[in-house]
Amino acid sequence: MALRSYGRSLVIYDTWAATTEYSLTDRVVPTVSNGRCYECTTAGTSGETEPTWNTTLESTTNDETVIWTCKEIPFGPNPLTVTMDMTGQGGLAVTEIWVKSDVESEFLVYGSYNG
């Protein structure tokens, strides 16, 4: 029996913050995730309240003097692969896979089972 798990790490961005100076090309994610990130395409200061984020790719969101452009959250540079062989172990329930990383990471995990 073998269990294979394939993952793709995602790039992590800072969460949007009120009344904060943002520079061109800075990227943020909303305080409530919507699966998108936003690139600063007009530098300035964010508003006192979080904007309503436009989720259409390449569309813009106005935020006080900042303009954000909607982007996909890119995958990190290195995919993750985990393979476990449970031959002769009578089976194994896997509910968690722990990964050590030197930077903050988030993973999308896809699994397969070969019985």
Residue 112 CA, chain-centre distance (Å), reads: 23
pLDDT, one tens digit per residue, over 63-77 is: 999 999 999 988 766
Average pLDDT, the chain: 79
Paired with 27 in beta bridges are 39
Instruction: Name the nearest CA neighbour of 41 among 57, 55, 56, 27.
Output: 27
Global confidence as pTM: 0.64
3-class secondary structure, 13: coil
SS (H, E, C) 32-63: CCCCEEEEEEECEECCCCCCCCCCCCCCEEEE
pLDDT, one tens digit per residue, over 32-54 is: 999 999 999 999 999 999 999 99
Distance between start and end Cα atoms, the chain: 5
